[in-house]
């Protein structure tokens, strides 16, 4: 049941979605360790993508951007998601990633729904301009080709229900030489609210011959199995579903590895969750030092302990931890045999919210699907996280 992306054979067809402030080297390793536990001896047991970075940040060699391009030496595939709106800048950045940094896989982001990105014609609204999308994809593929690096893309259904782009984007991607396309089954207007449209994923599978990865509402391993069965997609992308639950990759690998699952995954006890939290902290401390690493860990605490009856005082203390001594003192107060709260199984995690009435786009953006020069995208990368 593996996934082939260019020259890369991914034994477990699962991808960790890039998430700003989350998918740093520590979290990627934690998720990869869990995947490898679910599929012992299988490599690679998924793709674990770094936080989205900007093409201009690479080209201008901004230190903050390069600081995000750190990888665990044990990771068999170094995967980067790149954001940009200019074909020349994208191509230059891709060449630097492949030629200088030894990146194995470049994914292009055309799915970001954040208003500061869409108002400048980037992210999830860019595929509306079919000529610009094609130019970017062809430029990236050409730049990566000498290094044998696969280029993929991620997108959404469209801007809103009246301005759908995913089928056109899929055909353009295939013709441009893109190795695979990922579809988040929501529009930009939906952001992270409502239900993901898996039928759209199935339609894209039927429309193209390159692999399609499905994204949206993968909260448990069973969701991934069902998505693949219902849509025919070649693999799944997991984002919010793994927040505070890196063991989801263990369960996914066990279900989707070549030989299939020998037994149903078990829910972790509170003691097993605390062990996972400590491991996460240790990995963060290796890169950032104890104090800064555990400060970064704080934002994960609410996700890890969601549904457990810890009490407000203890939850607050976990959210302020700054040393392993403090962390261990707090964990001693917990009953390690406490079962996982079954009410949390299959429940949404992370950002949700309501659909937007209107997506912010550049003036006149929707009047044509061709970028005729009336819209200036020169500054569309200047206010995006990652450089």
CATH number at residue 299: 1.10.1200
Residue 378 lies in a domain: no
CATH number at residue 83: 3.20.20.70
Assess whether the previous peptide bond of 79 is cis (omega < 30° from 0): no
Per the annotation, the verdict on 242 as an active-site residue is: no
Does residue 152 sit in the same domain as residue 91?
Answer: yes
By residue range, what is the domain housing residue 298? 270-341
H or E element, residue 150: strand 150-156
Q: What is the per-residue pLDDT across 25-80, written as a single tens digit (0 to 9) for each? A: 999 999 999 999 999 888 899 999 999 999 999 999 999 999 999 998 888 999 99
Q: What is the per-residue pLDDT across 141-162, written as a single tens digit (0 to 9) for each? A: 999 999 999 999 999 999 999 9
Residue 209 lies in a domain: yes
Three-state SS at 110: strand
Angle between helices 290-304 and 270-288 (to 10 degrees): 150
Q: Which of 31, 112, 233, 242 is catalytic?
A: 112
* pLDDT for position 43: 86
What gap in Å lies between CA 60 and CA 247, rounded to an integer? 37
Three-state SS at 10: strand
DSSP secondary structure letter of residue 50: P
* pLDDT for position 154: 97
Does residue 274 sit in the same domain as residue 257?
Answer: no
What gap in Å lies between CA 16 and CA 25, rounded to an integer? 12
- Read off the pLDDT of each residue in 98-117 and give the average, rounded to a whole number: 94
- Read off the pLDDT of each residue in 294-312 and give the average, rounded to a whole number: 95
CB neighbours of residue 352 within 10 Å? 11
DSSP secondary structure letter of residue 77: S
Distant-in-sequence contacts of 259-267, Cβ < 8 A, 24+ apart: 260/1, 265/38, 265/221, 267/339, 267/340, 267/342, 267/345
Residue 383 lies in a domain: no
Helix, strand, coil fractions of the chain, as percent rounded to 5: 40, 15, 45
Task: Identify the sign of the CA torsion 343, 348, 352, 355.
Answer: negative
Contact 16, 47 (CB under 8 A): yes
Mean pLDDT of the chain: 92
């Amino acid at each position: 049941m593996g996934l082939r992306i260019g020259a890369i054979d991914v034994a477990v067809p699962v991808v960790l979605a890039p998430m700003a402030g989350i998918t740093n080297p520590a979290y990627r390793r934690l998720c990869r360790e869990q995947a490898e536990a679910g599929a012992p001896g299988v490599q690679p047991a998924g793709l674990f993508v770094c936080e989205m970075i900007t093409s201009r940040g690479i080209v201008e060699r901004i230190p903050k951007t390069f600081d995000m391009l750190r990888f665990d030496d044990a990771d068999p595939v170094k995967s980067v998601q790149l954001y940009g709106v200019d074909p020349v800048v994208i191509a230059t950045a891709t060449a630097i990633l492949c030629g200088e940094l030894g990146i194995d896989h470049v994914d292009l982001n055309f799915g970001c729904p954040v208003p500061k990105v869409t108002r400048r014609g980037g992210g999830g609204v860019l595929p509306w301009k079919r000529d610009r999308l094609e130019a970017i994809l062809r430029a990236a593929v050409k730049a990566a080709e000498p290094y044998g690096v696969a280029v993929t893309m991620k997108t959404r259904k469209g801007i809103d229900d009246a301005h759908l782009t995913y089928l056109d984007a899929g055909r353009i991607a295939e013709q441009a030489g893109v190795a695979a396309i990922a579809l988040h089954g929501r529009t930009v207007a939906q952001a992270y609210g409502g239900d993901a449209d898996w039928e759209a994923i199935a339609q894209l599978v039927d429309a193209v011959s390159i692999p399609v990865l499905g994204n949206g509402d993968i909260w448990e391993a069973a969701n991934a199995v069902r998505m693949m069965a219902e849509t025919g997609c070649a693999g799944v992308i997991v984002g919010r579903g793994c927040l505070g639950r890196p063991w989801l990759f263990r369960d996914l690998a066990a279900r989707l590895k070549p030989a299939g699952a020998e037994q149903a995954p078990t829910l972790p006890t509170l003691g097993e969750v605390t062990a996972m939290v400590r491991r996460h902290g240790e990995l963060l401390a290796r890169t950032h030092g104890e104090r800064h690493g555990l400060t970064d860990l704080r934002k994960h605490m609410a996700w890890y302990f969601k549904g457990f009856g810890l009490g407000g005082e203890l939850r607050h203390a976990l959210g302020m931890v700054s040393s392993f001594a403090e962390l261990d003192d707090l964990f001693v107060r917990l009953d390690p045999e406490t079962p996982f709260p079954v009410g949390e199984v299959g429940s949404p995690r992370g950002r949700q919210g309501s659909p937007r009435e209107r997506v912010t786009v550049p003036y006149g953006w929707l009047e044509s699907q061709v970028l005729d020069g009336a819209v200036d995208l020169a500054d569309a990368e200047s206010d995006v996280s990652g450089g």
